[in-house]
Chain A
Amino acid sequence: MRIILHVWRQKNASEPGRMVRYEVNNVNPHMSFLEMLDVLNEELVQQGEDPIAFDHDCREGICGMCGFMINGRAHGPEPGTTVCQLHMRHFRDGDELWLEPFRARAFPLIRDLVVNRSAFDRLIAAGGYISVNAGSAPDANAIPVPKQAAEKAMDAAACIGCGACVAQCPNASAALFLGAKISHLGLLPQGQPERYQRVLKMVSQAALEGFGHCTNAGECEAVCPKRIKLEVIARMNRDYLVAAVKHLGVKEAVEAGVG
């Protein structure tokens, strides 16, 4: 099949970018989307042009490195699928597709479809962990964890940190990503001691990084390749409220806009 692509080309953060049109012929429906770009890039290189830069590594939908917008949708049209696992059988001969990088204030552009998502690492550094040094743990079965809690924690822990939720959100909010980590750790007994400190620190770091506020648009859930549920945001908000009340008192918490 034949696919027409319009791709955002931008050499680096300081030079202006633009959309460039390409035609890819002989696309095999069993190819992945990134394999189609590989084939196009091979041709570009043969012709002495710069290939399209895009991030990827595992190509198994788990490392979270890949991701760009296809026709305005992060990771493209298939629900629950990263762009590295998106196969061309989901497109039709002659389809015309627009590829753009994830755009958000907190994700500055590096080149073409590649952006810098280090802000996510700093959100985790703000408190997305359980403080335990190697060597100090009790026996693994000392604290039973109800199966249901473990399963729900795992649902949230499945987040791959790709940033699609931020890119799709009209406010470029990181709420789904934050909620996922806060829920994962907060659902487990091991995560309780730092539960309320964690939510305060991570949420305030998000504001510092330039992520927007969550207004419950729900766009994030629709594009999340790991199907992280909006309920993680609700959980985070509840924890934040409790934390703020504990920390600030009810009046200040309300004034600070918690809720």
Chain B
Amino acid sequence: MELDSKCPSGPIETRWDRHKFELKLVSPANKRKYTIIVVGSGLAGASASATLAELGYNVKCYCYQDSPRRAHSIAAQGGINAAKNYQNDGDSVYRLFYDTIKGGDFRSRESNVYRLAQLSVDIIDHCVAQGIPFAREYGGVLANRSFGGALVSRTFYARGQTGQQLLLGAYQAMQRQIAAGRLTMFPRHEMLELVLVNGRARGIVTRNLIDGKIESHAADAVVLATGGYGNVYYLSTMAKGANATAIWRAYRKGAFFANPCFTQIHPTCIPVTGEYQSKLTLMSESLRNDGRIWVPLKKGDTRPPNQIPEEERDYYLERMYPAYGNLVPRDIASRAAKRVCDEGRGVGPTGYGVYLDFRDAIQRLGVNVIRERYGNLFEMYERLTGEDPYKVPMRIYPAIHYTMGGLWVDYNLMSTIPGLFVIGEANFSDHGANRLGASALMQGLADGYFIVPYTVGDYLASTKLEKVSTEQTEFRDAEREVAERIRRLLSVRGRRTVDSLHRELGKLLWEYCGMARNAQGLQYALKKIPELREEFWQNVIVPGTGEEFNQSLERALRVADFMELAELICYDALHRNESCGGHFREEYQTPDGEALRNDSEYAYVAAWEFTGVGNPPRLHKEPLVFEYAKPTERSYK
């Protein structure tokens, strides 16, 4: 199958406008005759549901939490980028485009990224109109701050709760459409299967998490906005319930999965404390604006940080990357932390930690300024660790945070299954091999407010769709398949809990397909994962029944899919014989330990096709062409 990205040609500045003009429209009177399913109510899903309903479509939205407002977008702290150039510091759409392509290590599509940068400005306008309480200057205008990978100040924020505020804006827009009768919300409903009729996405099968009922829902198009798959690693900064089931089921039905090994490790998370640890907590990257990262110069220096004199500290990011200093992109900051800890200079009880120190910023700006900027983050740190970051430096360590990979989509955000659109973190579209901070919120909202509402319309207007009913065999078969999967899980009655198996999978992936990877380790993981999957299906315990509120069963269904996805991630990592962005292959590095890209052989999107569980997936390549942002060595020195 040829992958057609449907990217427009011509000058990059006008591509989206011309494309939009060429998209077919559904007449206002006909819109309400179409039903669109949106799975997920995070920034991407909530903005898409609300906007599609505003346009007049009949929308159904699903989430596994008890309310759409709880989607994990709520946890985003730092901010959202937009090329407003309100600071007059030389920002522009082109610069945001360029920074994002470079930040992604030249592994994303120029056309998509340019459009994203263009739409960023509309997002801020809309969000302000919705009443998002963004930070302001004394004169009443919007305030900005800087994020990693940029030399301009273009990040808009609402204290340390930007994701929360943006999501509540989109959620409120949804509630307005619910009240208007154009949108129906199905909370505590988990999508467990995608239904195709004549090769097109026409519906889903869900489990009602309260009573366990398996139900089919039909539609004219399906939009997946189910977020990232970072929880395959068990420990991550994702919500506990975050899962890959929706996209994995779509993959099994023929949607290609792009760049699964492009996972992002965030440099500033609170280090692990023990085996019981259930998740990792992020400390926003915005802290790197004022905090300085260091470790002791000497190995095994166990003195308390405040007793280590200045000349015995190694501010290693400032030393290695003088131009960007503490604001280098995430992949670079994470790897540098791993390197100094591997050298034996890590701090804290486990030796896997580095200091993030505010002493100098407090001296320079005063406690009050620091409190105003980061007060709630400092409070959170103290709540979790029992240490006061105003007095002692924070301890941080990298953790799995975001997945750049996801279902392959074309410029219209449609997957290889006609009628199946994928938006937000669930797709692979805009961040290449590494995402810059404050760009995921931007992408989710661009997809949901300003792209998919047009492109879904084009699909509906240009496709003849027959009527479908949930009574027909395609739906019945899918329901039966789901019921059978549940029955199998409940009947194993083995000896190991879902979490213990999940933890083991996570450790395996983190060890062999985490911050640094090599062929030997990946081959080992590819041998181990099928064994662990076998162990899961032979030895898992899932208590209770399928016809009740059963959180163990929910987890088991998710982990069953992670057991398959983990293998795909390793296949992708093994095939990509280069280092780029978050994918660092130890065999491919420069003499001073930087990632060594291979543009002549790997400047493509790797889109994988399912060929059956346990079989190697089939690779399809979408070549990447750079007409504007010419690939260069990605230097932050």
Contacts and interface: CB of A to CB of B under 8 A. Distances in A.
A and B together in one complex: yes
A251 B178 CA distance: 35
B67 A153 contact: no
A30 B274 contact: yes
B386 A89 contact: yes
A20 B443 CA distance: 47
B541 A46 contact: yes
B130 interface: yes
Interface stretch (A93-101, A154-162, A208-216): A154-162
A111 interface: yes
B276 A188 contact: no
A254 interface: no
Given A42-B499, A57-B241, A134 B54 contact: yes
A256 interface: no
A255 interface: no
A55 B66 contact: yes
Contacts of A11: 548
Given A30-B274, A59-B240, A121-B185, A65 B65 contact: yes
B140 A144 contact: yes
B383 interface: yes
A130 B129 contact: yes
Contacts of B71: 63
A45 B552 contact: yes
Interface stretch (B118-126, B578-586, B614-622): B118-126
A127 B46 CA distance: 17
B549 A53 contact: yes
Contacts of A143: 128
Contacts of B178: 121, 125
Interface of A is mostly: loop
A62 B74 contact: yes
B137 interface: yes
B131 interface: yes
B524 interface: no
B75 to A, nearest CB: 5
A160 to B, nearest CB: 8
B50 A134 contact: yes
A257 interface: no
A156 to B, nearest CB: 8
B384 interface: yes
Contacts of A138: 125, 129
A134 B549 contact: no
A151 B164 CA distance: 15
Nearest to B135: A150
Interface in A135-153: 135-141, 143-147, 150-151, 153
B298 interface: no
A118 B68 CA distance: 10
A76 to B, nearest CB: 12
Given A58-B74, A125-B175, A51 B67 contact: no
B175 A190 contact: no
B559 to A, nearest CB: 14
Interface string B116-154: 000000101111111101111111111000000000000
A251 B158 CA distance: 42
Interface stretch (B166-174, B333-341, B357-365, B415-423): B166-174
A153 to B, nearest CB: 4
B435 to A, nearest CB: 20
B563 to A, nearest CB: 19
Contact of B176 (A38, A50, A125, A153): A125
A120 B67 contact: yes
Interface string A48-77: 111101011111111111000000000000
A65 to B, nearest CB: 5
A137 B276 contact: no
A227 to B, nearest CB: 10
Contacts of B577: none
A132 B137 contact: no
Nearest to A56: B240
A6 interface: no
A161 B75 CA distance: 14
B129 A126 contact: no
B161 A134 contact: no
Contacts of B65: 57, 63, 65
Interface stretch (B28-36, B277-285, B469-477): B277-285
Interface in B43-85: 47, 50-51, 54, 65-72, 74-75, 84
Given A63-B65, A128-B172, A134-B54, 7 more contacts: A58-B72, A58-B74, A59-B279, A60-B281, A64-B74, A139-B125, A190-B129
25 contacts: A12-B548, A38-B276, A38-B278, A51-B543, A51-B551, A51-B552, A57-B70, A58-B72, A58-B74, A62-B164, A63-B71, A64-B69, A64-B70, A87-B384, A89-B386, A118-B187, A121-B178, A121-B187, A129-B172, A129-B173, A133-B51, A138-B129, A139-B125, A154-B135, A191-B131
Closest 10 CB pairs of A and B: A144-B140, A129-B172, A137-B129, A125-B175, A137-B125, A154-B133, A153-B133, A140-B128, A63-B70, A111-B549
